[in-house]
């Protein structure tokens, strides 16, 4: 039996009502298991971030049910959802989600202050080496390059051993070489930590490294490719990426 870390069942999300109503997410179901890495691509405004934030328990769905590690978060209040996030979810955001006045090692230390059961010293050392940030531990975010910052953000997200890793356009602020490198590291680190991972991105090359690619259009999620790289992409999708990918910019 595969362990579904994230289970979303018939989830919808509607903002506003009447004439201003926006159906950001139409009936969507999505399961992600441990160690599985999926990508969601799609044009700007199609509902990708909405899906991701519902998956992470940052907002509730209008209908449907969401479980994280078996826990029905749709029935919890913000305080308990916050606990579930601390316990199970790691976020990586488009721009740095680092605390400006903490050094790299203090960013991780902060997590030790608020939660037990983070990585051991050795695991942490291994992760830092893998992400190539061992030499940066005493630096502040301002002294890091964009790519370094995102690598630290990955370390931070994985440090608390999350079972669910959610990344919303983690490479959007990077040039393509950096984006490539960061995505590669994200994927391998996530797999190594056995986290269920969702990466929202518009960068085609990033999808080379994932197990499944979903496409979001107008609040509807389609499975695009499974266990494949760019080579297996059909024409339609490439077209879409050229048209839609660019407008889904920074």
DSSP state of 44: T
Cβ of residue 79: shortest distance to another protein, in angstroms? 8
Q: Measured from the CB atom, is 42 or 162 closer to ligand ADP?
A: 42
Binding mask 15-54 for ligand ADP (x = CB under 6 A): xx-----x-x-----------------x-xxxxxxx----
Contact of residue 99 among ligand ADP, another protein, Mg ion, none (CB under 5-8 Å per partner type): another protein
Contact of residue 47 among ligand ADP, Mg ion, another protein, none (CB under 5-8 Å per partner type): ligand ADP
Which of 49, 96, 97, 160 binds Mg ion (CB under 5 A)? It is 49
Q: Which residues contact 139 (CB under 8 A, 6 or more apart)?
A: 103, 104
Reported as type and span, the H/E element at residue 51 is helix 48-55
Cβ of residue 93: shortest distance to Mg ion, in angstroms? 10
Which of 3, 29, 44, 82 binds another protein (CB under 8 A)? It is 82
Q: How does strand 37-41 pair with strand 196-200?
A: parallel
Tokens of 135: 């030499």
State how far the Cα of 173 lies from the Cα of 171, in Å rounded to an integer.
Answer: 6
Contact status, residue 18 vs residue 46, Cβ threshold 8 Å: no
Cβ of residue 58: shortest distance to another protein, in angstroms? 5
Beta strands in the chain (DSSP E): 4-15, 22-33, 37-41, 63-68, 71-72, 89-92, 164-168, 196-200, 212-217, 220-226
Contact of residue 24 among Mg ion, ligand ADP, another protein, none (CB under 5-8 Å per partner type): ligand ADP
Reported as type and span, the H/E element at residue 86 is helix 78-88
Contact of residue 46 among another protein, ligand ADP, Mg ion, none (CB under 5-8 Å per partner type): ligand ADP
CA distances from 51 to 41, 123, 160, 219 (A): 12, 31, 23, 9
> Does residue 71 touch another protein according to CB under 8 A?
no
Ramachandran angles phi, psi of 82, nearest 5°: -60, -40
Which of 19, 79, 121, 227 binds another protein (CB under 8 A)? It is 79
Near another protein in 155-174, by CB under 8 A: 168
State how far the Cα of 138 lies from the Cα of 103, in Å rounded to an integer.
Answer: 5
- Residue numbers of the site for another protein (CB under 8 A)? 49, 53, 56, 58-59, 79, 82-87, 89-91, 93, 97, 99-102, 106, 109-110, 113-115, 140, 168
Where do contacts with ligand ADP occur on this chain (CB under 6 A)?
Answer: 15-16, 22, 24, 42, 44-50
């Amino acid at each position: 039996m595969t362990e579904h870390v994230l289970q979303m069942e018939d989830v919808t999300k509607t903002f506003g009502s009447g004439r201003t109503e926006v159906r950001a997410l139409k009936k969507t179901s999505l399961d992600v298991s441990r160690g599985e890495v999926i990508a969601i691509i799609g044009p700007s405004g199609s509902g990708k971030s909405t899906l991701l934030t519902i998956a992470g328990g940052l907002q509730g769905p209008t209908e449907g049910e969401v479980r994280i590690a078996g826990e029905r978060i749709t029935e919890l209040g913000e305080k308990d959802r916050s606990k579930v996030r601390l316990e199970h979810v790691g976020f990586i955001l488009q721009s740095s989600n680092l605390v400006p006045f903490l050094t790299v090692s203090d960013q991780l230390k902060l997590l030790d202050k608020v939660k037990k059961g983070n990585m051991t010293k050795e695991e942490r050392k291994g992760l830092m080496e893998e992400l190539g940030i061992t030499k940066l531990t005493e630096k502040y975010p301002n002294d890091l390059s964009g790519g370094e910052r995102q690598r630290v953000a990955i370390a931070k997200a994985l440090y608390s051993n999350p079972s669910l890793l959610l990344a919303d356009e983690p490479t959007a602020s990077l040039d393509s070489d950096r984006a490539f490198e960061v995505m590669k590291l994200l994927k391998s680190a996530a797999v190594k930590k056995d986290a269920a991972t969702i990466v929202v991105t518009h960068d085609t090359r990033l999808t080379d490294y994932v197990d499944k690619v979903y496409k979001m259009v107008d609040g509807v999620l389609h499975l695009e490719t499974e266990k494949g790289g760019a080579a297996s992409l059909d024409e339609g999708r490439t077209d879409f990426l050229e048209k839609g990918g660019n407008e889904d910019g920074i």
